Amino acid sequence: MSPPPEGPAEAGKDLFAEDVRQHLQAHLGQLLTQLGSPPDTPAAEKLLEGLIRFCSALHAANENINLTGIKDAEGMAIRHCLDSLVALPHLRPHADEATSPPPLVDIGSGCGVPGIPLALARPDLPVVLIESRKRKSEALDQMVTALELGPRVGLVHARAEAWLAEHDVGTLVTRAVGSVNTQLELFGPLRTRYRRLVMLKGPAASEELELAAKTRHKHRFPEPEIHETQLPGEAGRRVVLVFEGGR
């Protein structure tokens, strides 16, 4: 017996996933090369498939709750997935973390970025997604389950600073959670809880960094590493600021 024909919803999901695949295939290899990762490996192919599944899951979840204003396949592929991966080179382990790395923590995860794409790119790394808004945290939890990422990827419904005050972690990564000054004020008193703070910022990062000079000195942050990556198309320039923590 022939399988029943796909309904409009199923066909639409397949078309969306195929669109995502085309945009990722057009740019993922080049980005991985820029970031120093080999693009033509089984791991890169697995990452591609995982990112497609993530975009499909996010697209479906976004129909029930507004997780992101980026709803098109190209936007999700480039502005969510590829943009998240620019943090990848800065998740380097310390010498004592080779066998048991501490978790990466995505602060204010929102729609799961950059935490979920980074978790897909680093299957050896435990990841914690922190989201203080209840409905978004519930949607994220469902996405993690659908993508079969648990228990390595966990979801915490809490204020980031309250949770961090009681946990020791490796890297904090942030995107669109406030200015450099706001973040240094928020996470400065907790520097002994993490080893580095990675901020994904836009082209105005230098100006924000200048405005945060007093706060940086107050909390004894050293000068950050500054890295720039040009995203495909019109997605613009991504600036990564890497602050060393106090652990």
Least confident residue range of 81-95, 162-176, 209-223: 81-95
Percent of the chain with pLDDT over 70: 92
Largest CA distance in the chain: 72
Alpha carbon of 174 to those of 19, 118, 130, 206, 232: distances in Å? 27, 12, 10, 17, 21
**171, two tokens:** 């890297």
Is it the case that residue 4 has pLDDT exceeding 60? no
133 touches 161 (CB < 8 A): no
Question: What is the predicted pLDDT for the residue at 141?
Answer: 96
- Domain annotation for the chain: domains and CATH numbers: 8-244 (3.40.50.150)
Alpha carbon of 160 to those of 85, 166, 187: distances in Å? 22, 10, 9
234 touches 188 (CB < 8 A): no
Is it the case that residue 230 has pLDDT exceeding 80? yes
pLDDT band, very low/low/confident/very high, at 144 (cuts 50, 70, 90): very high
Q: What is the mean pLDDT of residues 207-224?
A: 97
Distance CA 92, CA 240 (A): 14
- Dump pLDDT digits (tens) for 170-208: 999 999 899 999 999 999 999 999 999 999 999 999 999
Distance CA 218, CA 208 (A): 16
- Dump pLDDT digits (tens) for 231-244: 998 888 999 999 99
